[in-house]
Amino acid sequence: MISIKTKQEIAIMAEAGKILAKIVKQLEQMVDVGITTKQLDKAAEDLIFKYNTEPAFKGYGGYPAALCSSVNQSIVHEVPCDYKLKQGDIITLDLGLKYKGYLSDMAITVPVGEVVPEILRLIRATKKALKRGIKKSRPGNTFGDIGNTIQRHAEDQGFGVVRELCGHGIGKELHEEPEVLNYGKRRAGAVIKPGMVFCIEPMLTTGDWKIRRGPDGHAFQTIDGSVCAHFEHTIAITAHGPKVLTEIKD
């Protein structure tokens, strides 16, 4: 069953999302040639505690870190290590936190120095796919409408859409119903209603969309070695449409 959050619950999750967005922004500014993913993880955990929140991922399913730091062909859940970022890499910073009993989750993909134009195009397309998926998240639409919109945009741009991983409901648990697929058919799936809170997270590849488990036992990578980008927001559905909880308003 898809839970419906109260206004009070959504208000707490909005506070959590605002804190998370601030932390991710600070991590984004740290990304540079020579920094290790383990250093980024240490910074993420320090910031989480600085804001009197808790890491959502550490210990979840045995995951050993606060930050998922997925580089190049790794899509999600790569464990931070001593790898030093190189010119031309891209890294996805996927982070979650717990605040007053509720969770928030977001991800961004960041270029390291100068990257080739095709990879920049991949990043832009993935970010736009998320934006389009959010726009479709209105009461009366379905979760199939979200997935179909993401898939059509990605494939129109010539990119693969990962199918074995997806977005999810969120609240007191990190992964709640429903699964929010990044592909699908219009008008399919559950109807979106006010009070729902969920994460949309398109994952696009420069090649084939098929994936495998990475060598660290947690990461998922593209089988063909193609590069992947990933963006995610936590959103709440109001009577007037979607409200993004994990962004900083300028």
Q: Could you tell me if residue 49 is inside a domain?
A: yes
In percent, the amount of the chain with pLDDT more than 70 equals: 99
Question: 187-226 as b/e, with b when 16 or more CB fall inside 10 Å?
Answer: eebeebeebbbbbbbbbbbbeebebeebeeebbbbbeeeb
Structure tokens at 102: 């509720």
Q: Could you tell me if residue 1 is inside a domain?
A: no
Please give the pLDDT value at position 24: 98
Asked if residue 159 lies in contact with residue 207, where contact means CB atoms within 8 angstroms, the answer is no
Residues 121-180 pLDDT 10s? 999 999 999 999 999 999 999 999 999 999 999 999 999 999 999 999 999 999 999 999
Distance of CA 36 to the CA centre of its chain: 21
For 170, the domain range is 7-244
Q: How far is CA 118 from CA 71, 143, 211, in A?
A: 16, 30, 21
**Residue 135, SS3 per DSSP:** helix
pTM score above 0.95: yes
Q: Could you tell me if residue 130 is inside a domain?
A: yes
Structural domain count of the chain: 1
Query: In CATH, what number is assigned to the domain containing residue 35?
Result: 3.90.230.10
Q: Could you tell me if residue 168 is inside a domain?
A: yes
Band (pLDDT 50/70/90 cuts) for residue 92 is: very high
CB atoms within 10 A of CB 156: 9
Residues 52-65 pLDDT 10s? 999 999 999 999 99
